[in-house]
Amino acid sequence: MNRRRTLTISALLLGLPLAIGLTPPFVQVEAQSTQQAPHPDVPDAPTPQAPKPMSDMKDQVTPGIGSQPSQTTAPDSPASSSGSSADTQTPPPSSQPPASTAPDNFQTTPPEIPEAGKGADEAMTVIRSSTTAVEVPVTVKDSKGQLVGGLDWRDFRVFENNQRQPIRYFTVDPFPLSVAYVIDQSVTADVMAKVNTSLGAIQGALAPYDEVAVFSYNNGAKELTGFTGAQTNRLTAVLALAKATGREEGVPVNSGPLAGCSISSNGQCVDPNLQVGRSAGNNEFMNIPKEIHTLNDAILRAAVALSTRPTNRRRVIYVVSDGKEYGSKATTKQVIQYLQGHNIAVNATLVGDSARWGEGYLSRFHIPFQMNDNVLIRYAHETGGAIDAERNANGMEKSYQLLAEQSRRQYTLVYYSHEPAIDGKYRSIEVRVDRPNVDVTAKRGYYPTAQDAR
């Protein structure tokens, strides 16, 4: 009985402070410890900061240009944590564009610029997955036709499908050349004699590290040699074999006593090219055979051989011809598509009728139902090549040197297309140079291929 009373009294003593609003000592200690130790998952509130004054926005907006991106310091630096005006420092004068050019804020990060002499080796080694890397060789000339040097990447603007592209790689280093020479043997005999005389100067326009293949065409394309060193004896011998007599230029007669077959056997012409009947007519009337100039087939065959050459070499087809085309199995459009898909440029030395003043300009236009008098102009414009018209052997020899130098002294731009990696659709290219009175030559577009995806 006494023990129950003792427990009851103890319980009453404990409940009495709670009843009158007091807290036991051990309860107060627990409450104090709970208030002093904050929850570890709840961070401290940020310290209030006053907004920056509008005076900090001065010199950041230029009339006609807009706001300029400011150079800020790293987030971990003391200047950024203090919130002072040091995080809007202007870049050093060395990183500013030249004073002669207008500010351009499209591309603030410079492209990859290799060391001198290593541009050709490193041009296509940068890899980007699921991206089309587009290499654009660019030639810049002044109003007098002289090559313009000393430009840097800030002077160029590249547009694909009318949308500007950042330049990811830029070099002025010369590339070794892989040149496929295509010699027209269907020109007239007098023109062919001049071409034969000039062929010996081809090797003088090339360097020892260049490589050359030689093709010819008349009624069909023919490969005279595969790629060999530009200064080898093999090339000297092959160029000697490329010489031909050409075709005889005469006035065609298809009626009268001078027409037909002067020598016949069993009522048929002895000459197999003038058979009786069909396209050749009969003993009384003869249809003149059409001229055959398979230029498209010859360029396509040279392009297929060039497509196997390494990507760090400049691929060039050099045509010596009057530009006439008739009788090829491949169309000009198909060949140009293949050239643009494999980054091949077409240079040409025009001879014969296409090199004559006035007549050479008119031969660019195609008369319906007639042969194409000069398709090389279109080949050069679409692939970023060059054309030079010469009438004598001395001019042809200088032309070889001029066009080879132009192919070697080009600016090389590489950008990554914003279009899908491989969709097979044509993409236009436009290159602009921020210099007055200059002529810019670059390919007008391309078709993406699997080898462009990097």
pLDDT, average across residues 410-418 = 92
Q: Are 60 and 67 in contact (CB under 8 A)?
A: yes
Torsion angle of C-alpha atoms 333, 336, 342, 346, degrees rounded to 10: 170
pLDDT, average across residues 40-61 = 57
pLDDT, average across residues 98-124 = 67
Of 235, 210, 134, the C-alpha closest to 407 is: 210
β strands within 300-426, DSSP E: 314-321, 345-350, 387-389, 411-416
Specify the range with the lowest mean pLDDT, choosing from 70-74, 242-246, 440-444.
70-74
8, pLDDT greater than 90: no
For a pLDDT cut of 90, what percent of the chain falls above it? Answer: 46
> What is the pLDDT, as a whole number, of residue 253?
61
pLDDT category of residue 34 using cuts at 50, 70 and 90: very low
Helix (H) or strand (E) holding 36: helix 25-36
> What is the pLDDT, as a whole number, of residue 90?
45
> What is the pLDDT, as a whole number, of residue 83?
42
30, pLDDT greater than 90: no
55, pLDDT greater than 70: no
Could you give the 3-state DSSP secondary structure of residue 228? strand
User: What domains can you pick out in the chain, each with its CATH number?
Assistant: 177-247+291-408 (3.40.50.410), 250-290 (no CATH)
pLDDT category of residue 226 using cuts at 50, 70 and 90: very high
Specify the range with the lowest mean pLDDT, choosing from 36-50, 82-96, 120-134.
82-96
Q: What are 144-193's pLDDT values in tens digits?
A: 989 999 999 999 999 999 999 999 999 999 899 999 999 999 999 999 99
- Pairing relation of β-strands 439-441 and 133-141? antiparallel
pLDDT category of residue 289 using cuts at 50, 70 and 90: low
Q: What are 292-301's pLDDT values in tens digits?
A: 899 999 999 9
> What is the pLDDT, as a whole number, of residue 321?
94
pLDDT category of residue 71 using cuts at 50, 70 and 90: very low
22, pLDDT greater than 50: no
> What is the pLDDT, as a whole number, of residue 40?
54
Specify the range with the lowest mean pLDDT, choosing from 268-277, 295-304, 383-392.
268-277
pLDDT averaged over every residue in the chain:
76
125, pLDDT greater than 80: no
pTM of the model: 0.67
> What is the pLDDT, as a whole number, of residue 333?
93
Q: Which two tokens stand for residue 197?
A: 């005389």
Q: What are 186-209's pLDDT values in tens digits?
A: 999 999 999 999 999 999 999 999
Better pLDDT: 228 or 8:
228
